[in-house]
Amino acid sequence: MPMTITEQIFARAAGKQAVEPGDLVNAKIDMIMCHDVTTPPAISMLKQHGIDRVFDLEKLAVTPDHFQPAKDIKSAELHKRLDTWAKEKGIRHYYPIGKAGVCHALLPEQGHIRPGEVIVGGDSHTCTYGAFAAFSTGIGSTDLAAAIATGQLWFRVPESMKFTLSGHLPHGVYSKDVVLEVIRRIGTDGALYKAIEYVGPALKEMSMEARMTITNMAIEAGGKNAIIGFDETTKQYLEGRLKGKQDYTVFESDPEAKYCFEDTIDCDKLEPLVAYPHLPSNGKPISECAGEVMDQCYIGSCTNGRIEDFRIAASVMKGKQVKIRTLIVPTTPTVWRQANDEGLLNIFYDAGCVISAPTCGACLGGFMGVLGAEEKCVSTTNRNFVGRMGHPTSEVYLCNPATAAASAVEGKLADPRKYM
């Protein structure tokens, strides 16, 4: 039976010869991501049921990220519970504050993601890891508790959609614009409980960081997961990074595999996009929306907070001053240090930006950049729902790092191509 990559991974994880969309399977979990918001409730559930075990100490990666460093007493207590549990259980891959970072950047960077595996995490953007030809999806605290204890979860095998990325990305256009275009076309529920598979020549030219931006936002289209096939770029990224076992299995979609939907994105015709409030699907070309006055710029998050993103932003800001408050938030200590070593933080500092330690804080309206009433923020994050970054009357405009940087310099939505 012909199968997609996602279906082949499920067949392997469930010990079956083949699966098809709609099948219910009990799949073995290869890696679990745990952070400070959803893991403490899972720990409590396990204790309430008298379950005092972790199925495999090598198959969990644990880090505080949403409210780190702690912003108040409640977040400090979350960190304490996470820290105590990780130490009591002897979790092998625990990243305490100081080594902690935004989970979806940290796990690939630290070598915990392998092609062909089933990966779950207590966060909706766990779909990011599909960039490595793995099945990866977010789960709630109840499923997280079950996975921690048993190493298994049941799934309904999703139907697969295929997007072919043709052509080449024009100057000033990035992978963030590609995924905003996909969501603009199909809507925030267009991929509901479906696997989104990306192929095509434009994809081949993208770095792993750029690919992670695309798979990161599958959930913004309602997707169960997003996935990109393995190639030389994937292999090079993984070399020297993998923790523990070095081997992995590569699956490729069969030529006759069935898809419930197919579309082609002509990347040659794309321009920088801005997703207007209050939906990621509300994308507009920068040529149609430049000039909208902003109050804040945010460059960071699990979507666009990697070193490549800061190089892009710095190339726009170099030698200039920002006109609105601008937050620079590297996703991991490694990214922070690399940005510092490359002189990028000096560029941001000289431009008048605020430079933060790694955290998810402002992205979810937690801290370190919360918006006040009626304030507008141009942001490299993934969501612009009502009240996402603060007050219910505030607004978030999603874009790529170059557009965000140009907008910070001008104090209004701006086309980055004139700075590049």
Instruction: With cut-offs at 50, 70 and 90, classify the pLDDT of residue 245.
Output: confident
Q: Which residues neighbour 357 within 8 Å (Cβ) at sequence distance 6 or greater? A: 69, 336
Three-class DSSP category at 403 = helix
Q: Which residue has the tokens 């950047």?
A: 105
For residues 31-44, give the mean pLDDT: 96
Residue 404, SS3 per DSSP: helix
* 114 band by pLDDT with thresholds 50, 70 and 90: very high
Handedness of CA 393, 397, 398, 402 (dihedral sign): negative
d(CA 295, CA 332): 26
Is the pLDDT reported for residue 371 higher than 90?
yes
Cβ atoms of 10 and 136 closer than 8 Å? no
Question: Could you check whether the bond before residue 125 is cis, i.e. omega within 30 degrees of 0?
Answer: no
Per-residue pLDDT averaged across 257-271, rounded? 98
Between strands 283-285 and 273-275, the pairing is: antiparallel
Separation of alpha carbons 143 and 222, rounded Å: 19
Tokens (6 digits) for 128 = 């990011």
Q: What pLDDT, on the 0 to 100 scale, is given for residue 420?
A: 85
Distance CA 97, CA 62 (A): 11
The answer to whether 134 touches 5, Cβ cutoff 8 Å, is no
- Look up residue 162 and give its two tokens: 């295929």
Share of the chain above pLDDT 70, in %: 100
pLDDT above 90 for 354: yes
Radius of gyration of the chain (CA): 20
Average pLDDT over residues 253-261: 97
Give the pLDDT of residue 34. Answer: 97
The three-point CA angle 172-178-180 to 5° equals: 110
Cis peptide bond upstream of 21, omega within 30? no
Could you give the percent of the chain with pLDDT greater than 90? 97
- Angle of helix 307-317 relative to helix 208-216, nearest 10 degrees, comes to 100
Span 223-230, mean pLDDT? 98
Helix axes 307-317, 333-341, angle to 10 degrees: 40
Mean pLDDT of 189-206: 97
pLDDT score recorded for residue 322: 98
Residue 30 neighbours by CB under 8 Å, 6+ apart: 13, 59, 114, 117, 118, 119
Q: Quick one: pLDDT at residue 228?
A: 98
What the chain holds in terms of domains, given with CATH numbers, is 5-265 (3.30.499.10), 273-419 (3.30.499.10)
Give the strand order in the sheet containing 261-266: 225-228, 194-199, 159-166, 261-266
Rounded CA-CA distance 9/195 in Å is: 12
Q: Provide the pLDDT confidence category of residue 210 given band limits of 50, 70 and 90.
A: very high
Residue 91 has a CB neighbour count (10 Å cut-off) of: 19
Whether pLDDT at 244 is above 90: no
What pLDDT does 1 receive? 87
* DSSP characters over 202-253: HHHTS-HHHHHHHHHGGGGGT-SEEEE---HHHHHHHTTT--S---------
Q: Cα 337 to the chain's mean position, in Å?
A: 21
* Location of structure tokens 């040529």: 287
In angstroms, rounded to a whole number, what is the distance separating the alpha carbons of residues 216 and 205? 18
Tokens found for residue 321: 């001053």
Per residue in 295-345, pLDDT tens? 999 999 999 999 999 999 999 999 999 999 999 999 999 999 999 999 999
Mean pLDDT across the chain: 97
